[in-house]
Chains A and B, each alone.
Chain A
Amino acid sequence: MTAIAQTIARPWTSPTLGGITVVVALAAILQLSIDAGLVPDIVVARPLDALAAIGPLNRDMDLVGNFFLTFGMTFAAVALAIAIGVPLGYLLYRYDILGQAYESWLAAAFSAPIVLLYPLFLVIIGRSHLTLVAMAFIPCVIPIIIQTRQGLLSTPPTHINVGRSFNLSERDMFWKIMLPAAVPSMFTGMRIGVMYALVTIVAIEYLIDFGGLGRIVSEMYFRFDIPGTYASILFVVFVSILFYASLNRIEKWLRPI
């Protein structure tokens, strides 16, 4: 292929570029639809307006500083959830009777509106960012526990048999065969967990003033500043992309296949 043809074809050979191209295309369509009056601009912001709002928003409300605050709290909740969730998931796998007893309940507990109980958490844990981390911990740890257990249970028997044929010890069996096999499932749990940790943190920041991106989203929405609302939500999306990319990197490193 000639160099030019290769360059043109480039977006379609790289998933990242392909994804970005589609997003830009959709944004362009949205911009044009709003300009043409097909979509009311009081409901959805013009993408260009939203981007333009970032600068003033940063000056006004320290968008970048709050980005790091939200990111930090989410990170703390996720790190805690992984540190506690993975071992618990293992426990529920190792003692299958516990797993059978609790799996349904964990999934059901996931549906409890924790966010509503924020006054209770404030009282028990105190008026600090720790409360947000604690509240985000819960919806984050549950998928991790469930998926870790599921992942360990799903180790293909073939792999186990290979391990046995090598006379691996129980310990080696776990670290060399089962855990690597469970990695995709565990990381799925982490991805879901990150999503809801972030959603919870932003939701509480929205409800009560602890700073963070949720506070900015709430203020913009309240002021009916639609471009500002979308601009601040874009930064929430950045937090999620940051986590997502990191998890992918770590997963690839743990399991190169």
Chain B
Amino acid sequence: MNHRWRLSLAGLVAGMLGFAGAAEAQDRVRIIDSQRMGFAHMAIHNAVTEGYFKKHKIDAEVTFGSGGADTLQAIVTGSADIALGVGVLSVIGAHAKGAPVTIIGNAMRGPSDIFFYVPAKSPIKSLKDLDGKELVYSRPGSSTHMVVQFIARDLGIKPKLVSVGGMSAARTQVMSGQVATGWSAFPVNHDLVRKGEIRIIGTGSEAKALANDTVRVIVANSNWVKENPDVARRAMEAMWEGLKFTYEGGEKALQSYAKMWKLDMEEAKAAPKFIPFDAVTFWPLGNMDHVYKLALQFKQIGKPLTEEQKKSLVTVVFDPEKKS
């Protein structure tokens, strides 16, 4: 009698432990996608729909953020664990001030997804025609602000640099004739290009100095990474598979992109041209020495980073090259 009691009790306990183990098998990770409609950001959404997160036992909770400082604040306060697409300069600035943030991968090297355009009937043919005319950017301190300053320098032109706000505001102002040019980031307004209503006169690639710089990164809360290195690794691995699917998944991948953001398939097909796979691989971080100099120049940091700071700034939780 005693023997059977003990066996059943042991069985019950084992069963409960097993059940508890199974219930905990999925680790919750809160991810912020801070660039709606970003083609490479489909890495996250494809990782959800194609089951990569599930495969790696990650329960991904995805929120959409609107970029920049707010997204970073969410990471800093621990309200989210990983954010994709935050400006690298903001992250450096925050890290230098002691915020618990760390870069766990590159999100975009070079600003090739940004393009500048004019209305179809405008006499302006290229960026070089912009002496004395308005070259627009979103707001002071933004990446577009940086890009236009480098374009002006690299092309040797003297445009009027004007802040116009977001892409929709830019479009409204340029099409109403208030400013000579508009700015946009793919895929927004690309349909107008196809329809012939606007003409692209240059892209961010014309800022040669920035061509290989990492401009946006994948950032994580450093305390979370320290306490959950395995979870972080698995989440990144799932997103890597999602990224590969985005670029190698053919029609299916393009269709899921078009469907999610209600885009024309033509837009989806043009995406890899504006955002090439080489620009969005997780490693390496591009030209960081130049990026550090930019951080100093644009006053994100007051003095150059120490070696200690540079080391803690970046944490490699997952590197696809090192995967066996």
The residues of A with any CB-CB pair to B shorter than 8 Å are 40-43, 118-120, 122-123, 126-127, 207-209, 215, 218-219, 221-226
User: Can you name the residue of chain A whose Cβ is closest to the Cβ of B100?
Assistant: A42
Asked whether B123 is an interface residue with its Cβ less than 8 Å from the other chain, the reply is no
Min CB distance A125 to B, Å, is: 11
**B143-182 interface bits toward A, Cβ cutoff 8 Å, 1 = contact, 0 = none:** 0000000000000000000011110110111001011000
CB <8 Å contact, A218 and B98:
no
Set of chain B residues within 8 Å of A225, measured between Cβ atoms: 93, 97
CB <8 Å contact, B172 and A122:
yes
Set of chain A residues within 8 Å of B173, measured between Cβ atoms: 119, 122-123, 127
CB <8 Å contact, B69 and A221:
yes
**B83-106 interface bits toward A, Cβ cutoff 8 Å, 1 = contact, 0 = none:** 000000010011001111000000
Best-surrounded residue of B97, B166, B168, B173 (most CB of chain A within 10 A): B97
* With contact pairs A126-B178, A219-B141 given, residues A43 and B169 touching in the complex (Cβ less than 8 Å): no
CB <8 Å contact, B176 and A224:
no
CB <8 Å contact, A222 and B141:
yes
CB <8 Å contact, A215 and B140:
yes
Interface residues on B, range: 20 to 34
Set of chain A residues within 8 Å of B165, measured between Cβ atoms: 118-119, 207-208
CB <8 Å contact, B163 and A209:
yes
- List CB contacts (< 8 Å) of B88-140 with chain A: 90, 93-94, 97-100, 139-140
CB <8 Å contact, A120 and B172:
yes
Q: Known A-B contacts: A208-B165, A219-B141. Give 12 more (CB < 8 A).
A: A43-B73, A119-B165, A119-B168, A119-B172, A122-B173, A123-B172, A127-B178, A221-B69, A222-B69, A222-B141, A223-B141, A224-B93
Set of chain A residues within 8 Å of B73, measured between Cβ atoms: 43
Q: Choose among A40, A119, A120, A208 the residue that contacts B163 (Cβ–Cβ < 8 A).
A: A208
